[in-house]
Structures are given as structure tokens and as C-alpha cells.
Amino acid sequence: MQMTIEKLNEIQERNKELVALRKLIAEQASEMLEHSQYRKQILVCGGTGCTSSGSKKVIDALEAEIKEKNLTDVLVVKTGCFGLCALGPVVIVYPEGAFYSQTTVEGAKRIIDEHIIGGKICKDLLYPETVCENGEILPLNATRFYKKQMRIALKNCGVIDPENIEEYIALDGYKALHKVLTSMSQDEVIETMLASGLRGRGGAGFPTGKKWAFAKASKGDIKYVCCNADEGDPGAFMDRSILEGDPHAIIEAMAIAAYTIGAHEGYIYVRAEYPIAVDRLKIAIAQANEYGLLGKDIFGTGFDFNLEIRLGAGAFVCGEETALMTSIEGKRGEPRPRPPFPAVKGLFGKPTVLNNVETYANVAQIILKGADWYSSIGTETSKGTKVFALGGKITNVGLVEVPMGTTLREIIEEIGGGIPDGKKFKAAQTGGPSGGCIPACHIDTPIDYESLSRIGSMMGSGGLIIMDETTCMVDIAKFYLEFTCEESCGKCSPCRIGTRRLLQLLEKITAGKGTMEDLDKIEELSSHMKVSCLCALGQTASNPVVSTLKYFREEYLAHIVDKTCPAKKCKALLKYRIVSDKCKGCTLCARNCPVKAIKGTVKQPHVIDGDKCIRCGVCMSNCKFGAIIKD
């Protein structure tokens, strides 16, 4: 179909109210609903988090119930991620904006019976924080989790049905592409991007406008735009959520980028571990083609743009831009030296622009709302917002988007709801295996590119892992090194061998065999890899080691000098001991010990033979008197 602005407007009008009310609540929304064919809308999160906790069963139950009760005026919408993954499956009912968390199949039935039919919200099923003492229901935006958030990249996530292009269009979708194609020159787009201050959200923070300008300036008959959706940082899922919740935002932005640099073909490189995101993308691309928003002569302007999906196959290094392009070319995903930069010689040797998902998610809105609007958000050098995947030892595990400059404390204590089980915050890790840890003393650091790198971490792609006092920092450094070691492509010698040697030194330390000389070697190897490796994977591989060594040196020393692990994590350094006062001599521990390391006679205090003990912890978990402790 040939898309025109008239048709686009018509689709928008047709769907506008249906979608708009999901951003409102109560009276306004009810009013809006009067014109609608639907009396109630039930939104269920269909993101990976909620799907994993059973949202599909909830949707099936809701739909079965609706069918059975013949409720033709109730709409069930499967959306993308709401953000509060720990509370999934998440269900929200409009116009009330009632936010049900951890919904079960039974709960779904009650929602239909009591809430939809009976008109009475099931308050006991709601997210507790949204229920006030006086029984009033708070809108989601008023909860601690959402209050300080600002949603730009995630604007449509949890709002629209990502498998329905018309809902995207209803919220100004593809308007930016129309604007660019019909009223802006390539240079004007670049100017806007530059003025907005948008920087790459993949981690390095390179100004997006500059990247586009370089690629535009490169001569070439064929150029490419690529999207990096190979979200490799373990514990990060921002890009996945955007693709699952708002795939058209990426397609539209890539088309804008293509127009700007003069490309007609694009590739989205997605991790194969993201089946839902891939499915939604496929549907979105097919719909965009059907609606004439991809393909030939878009909006009748003569601009052609085709988009293809390529799946990764399990290689973290393919998140590096040159490796990603090598992988799209069907080869071993090894990075290439730069220069030449991709803007000059990229995919298949042609000028190429590569941005990550979250970067693209900002583009259409910058075009529509203007560079001034965007640059008014954030800090001096870092504009806009940043999405973080908040995980680890934190109450509200989930997806958050905050303006640049928000402090770590705000994210952890307010949005994240603090550390569970009354434990103490120890450190946060940003940037995943390439980043560093931020200790408690820097918790008030505003989050922007420069501040984070100043304290030895980095913005990274948005993984934010919270650690408490039970996390051993040497062990966590070892964990990251294991990761990079396994994911090193092996092309350059400092990374191929350096990561392995670094890991071996850390293993030695956590096994209680480390020496002070090993610490020197760790420092030497770390700084060697930083300057000598071919790509960012190797250059940053030592960051988790360097930063933990910087802030938690005493923990390393405890492992090396005292042969103890303060967090009681490193098995080889643990000692299980029976407190003789508490031991009743029940012999349960001795009978359960797999290596017969516990000696003692009935009704007499038992003793653990430290040389035989393999530190499996079975005795401790079996003791009914709390007589066994580890130190």
C-alpha cells in the first residue's frame, strides 16, 4: 500500500482514543471510553520477564473468561514491559488504572468476575503500594518505582500492543519519518541530532549526530544502517524490552537514519536468546512493509528502505561494532582494527551507521519534539534519559528510565526500593563485564557518562547490578573475568592470553593460594590489556578487577594475607565450625556429611575435621540447633 500523510492521520484518528486513555486514569479516561467500543481495557505484560512468570496463562484465562461471559466490550491487550519485572505477571485495567501484580490464573478469573463484571476492584490483588490506607487507588506514576522515572525510550512500552502497527501510529508513530522525508534535508536531520546532544546508548557515548554526519560524508553507491540489538551484558535487558514493547520506534528511527546518510538497506542484529523480541520485530517489519512504511517509495517521496533481521548465535564480542558487522557478513565475529571506521568502510566494506536499540528509540521523538526539548533534559554533557536494567540484590528488580544526572542513591533507595532482607548496600556494577563497581561512598554520584568514568566505572549499556554485604568483590571480579575469558574471540594476543592469565590469578586468590606478587601481576596485566588490546572487549576486560581492587583492596588482602573471605562466599576460604555449647550431639551432621569429616559420639559435642571438610554446607543446613557456623 502507498502510505500518505492523510492515511496516516486517518489511522491515528481511528485509534487515538483507544490508546490515549492508557496514559490517563479515572475520570478523564472514563469520559474517553464513552466514545469507544470498549468499556474496559485489560493490559497484560507480554515481555520476557512476565512471560517467564506465566503471563501467557493469565492472558489465556482472561480471554477464556471473557468469551465464556460474552463480554464483547472488554479488550485484552498484550503489551511490552511495564518495568516491574519482579512483580510479574503484571496486569493493568483501564479506565481505573488498577495495577495488579503477580497475577495468577485464579486472580485473572477474579478480575473478570469481581472487577470487570462486578465493578469492584480486587484490592487484595493490586500492587500493594498503589492501595492507600483510605482505600484509594494510586496511579502507577505516583508509586515510588515510577515517580522519579521519565519515559522517553520506553514511552510506548506497556502502553501499546507491539504487534499492532496502528496503535503505534495512534501515538504519533511514523510522523517523524514523514516529517524528515518531506520537510527536512539530510543536513537538517544531522543538525537536529547534534543539537539534541543524543549520545550512543551502547556504552561508548559517541554523539549520534556526528556518527551520522561522518557516514553521510562518506562517498559510496551503497550504504547501510544497522541496529545493534546484541545485548550481551549479562543482566541487562533494556534493548530487549524496547524491541518487545515498541519495535516500530526502532524501524522508524532506522529509516530516518537511512534517509540521513543515503542508505537503502538496513540490518537489525538481534541476540537469538530473545525469541519474543525477534517475533515482534518480524511482525513489525511485515506490517511496516504492508503499510508502505518500509519498502519502495515511502510516503511517495522516492525514498526506498528495506530492513532485514539477522540473529546472533551466542558471542558477546559481536556487540562490538566491527565484530557485529563481520558477523552479519556471515563470518566469525572477530573485531577489525579501526581505522577505517564503519562510517567509511563498514558492513560489506560500505559506509555504515550502527546505533544501538535505545539510541534509536530516542530519535523519532527528537525529530517531533525538537532538539531543544531533548537537550533540556539531563546534565551538561549527557542529555536525555537512560534506561537501566536494575537487578541483583534489590527489591524492585526491573526496568527503569531516568533523566541523566539522577543519582545512584535515587535509583537504589527510591525507585529500586532498597536492598531486601535488611542487608547493607555494598556496591553497584554498571557497564557489565566492561564496567566497574561503584562503592557505597559514591552512591551520590549523578549518573552521566563523565561522572561514571571519573570514578572508574562506565555508563555501559545500562545493566545495573546491586550487590550487598554477602557479595564477595574478588569473586565478582572473577565472575566477570570468567565471562570475558569465555567470550574473548581470541584474535589478539593480549586479550586471548591476558584474560586467561588474569582469571588464573584471581582463581588462585579465591582459592586461598594468592600472594602479594600476584596482586602486582594483576595490576600489570590489567594496565597492559587496557592499552594493548585490539578492541573494547579486551581493553575494558580488566575494569571489574581494577575497580574492585581500587575500592575493595582490603578484601583482596583478606583473601591473600588472612586467607579469609569476608563475604563468606569463596568456598575454599570458609571454615565450618561446631559451637560446642550449642551442639546436642544428635549425630545428624555426622551422618549426613558426604566425606565423613565430622567426628563425635552421641550426646557429645561434635567436631569438624577442617582438612577433610569440602565445605558443602550440608551439615549447617541440617543442624536443628544452629550449632554450626561458618567463618
Entry field: residues in the chain? 631
Q: Minimum distance between the CB of residue 16 and other proteins, rounded to whole angstroms?
A: 32
Cβ neighbours of residue 279 closer than 8 Å, sequence gap 6 or more: none
- DSSP string covering 556-598, please? HHIIIII---TTS--GGG--EEE-TTT-----HHHHH-TT--E
Nearest CB to other proteins, comparing residues 181 and 476:
476
Amino acid identity of residue 235, one-letter, is: G
Footprint of other proteins on 329-348 (CB under 8 A): 329-333, 336-337, 339, 348
Q: What character string, x for contact with other proteins (CB under 8 A) and - otherwise, covers 84-103? A: xxxxx---------------
Asked whether position 143 contacts other proteins by CB under 8 A, the answer is: no
H helix count then E strand count, the chain: 26, 18
Nearest CB to other proteins, comparing residues 115 and 280:
280
Nearest CB to other proteins, comparing residues 271 and 606:
271
Footprint of other proteins on 348-377 (CB under 8 A): 348
Q: Minimum distance between the CB of residue 514 and other proteins, rounded to whole angstroms?
A: 14
Question: For strand 74-79 and strand 98-100, is the pairing parallel, antiparallel, or unpaired?
Answer: unpaired
Distances 217 to 57, 265, 451, 466 between C-alpha atoms, Å: 52, 17, 32, 43
Footprint of other proteins on 200-259 (CB under 8 A): 231-237, 240-241
Nearest CB to other proteins, comparing residues 218 and 488:
488
With contacts defined by CB under 8 A, name the span among 27-35, 134-142, 327-335, 601-609 that binds other proteins: 327-335
Partners of residue 389 on adjacent β-strands: 399, 463
Q: Minimum distance between the CB of residue 319 and other proteins, rounded to whole angstroms?
A: 11
d(CA 137, CA 126): 9
Nearest CB to other proteins, comparing residues 521 and 577:
521
Nearest CB to other proteins, comparing residues 524 and 631:
524
Among 107, 346, 398, 456, binds other proteins (CB under 8 A): 398
Quote the cell numbers at residue 424: 547493607
With contacts defined by CB under 8 A, name the span among 72-80, 498-506, 556-564, 596-604 that binds other proteins: 498-506
Among 486, 554, 562, 631, binds other proteins (CB under 8 A): 486
Footprint of other proteins on 401-460 (CB under 8 A): 429, 432
Asked whether position 328 contacts other proteins by CB under 8 A, the answer is: yes
Nearest CB to other proteins, comparing residues 52 and 604:
52
Among 209, 384, 391, 462, binds other proteins (CB under 8 A): 391
Quote the cell numbers at residue 207: 554523539
Rg over CA atoms, the chain: 27
Burial letters for 317-355: b for 16+ Cβ neighbours within 10 Å, e otherwise?
bbbbbbbbbbbbeeeebbbbeeeebbbbbbbeebbbbbb
Nearest CB to other proteins, comparing residues 331 and 550:
331
Nearest CB to other proteins, comparing residues 111 and 397:
397
With contacts defined by CB under 8 A, name the span among 71-79, 210-218, 252-260, 499-507 that binds other proteins: 499-507
Question: For strand 463-468 and strand 425-430, is the pairing parallel, antiparallel, or unpaired?
Answer: antiparallel
Quote the cell numbers at residue 503: 582469571
Look at residues 487, 501, 557 and name the one whose alpha carbon lies nearest to residue 529. 501
Nearest CB to other proteins, comparing residues 123 and 530:
530
Quote the cell numbers at residue 40: 474496559
Q: Minimum distance between the CB of residue 471 and other proteins, rounded to whole angstroms?
A: 6
Among 7, 264, 500, 584, binds other proteins (CB under 8 A): 500
With contacts defined by CB under 8 A, name the span among 5-13, 62-70, 517-525, 596-604 that binds other proteins: 517-525
Amino acid identity of residue 94, one-letter, is: Y
Burial letters for 494-513: b for 16+ Cβ neighbours within 10 Å, e otherwise?
bbbebbbebbebbebbbebe
Asked whether position 51 contacts other proteins by CB under 8 A, the answer is: yes
Among 521, 577, 584, 615, binds other proteins (CB under 8 A): 521
Among 15, 48, 101, 461, binds other proteins (CB under 8 A): 48
Cis peptide upstream of residue 566 (ω within 30 degrees of 0): no
Name the 3-class secondary structure at 22. Answer: helix
Footprint of other proteins on 534-593 (CB under 8 A): 534, 539
d(CA 242, CA 558): 43
Q: Minimum distance between the CB of residue 216 and other proteins, rounded to whole angstroms?
A: 21
Count of C-beta atoms within a 10 Å radius of residue 185:
11
Footprint of other proteins on 262-281 (CB under 8 A): 272-274
Q: Minimum distance between the CB of residue 281 and other proteins, rounded to whole angstroms?
A: 15
- Do 244 and 336 form a contact (C-beta atoms < 8 A)? no
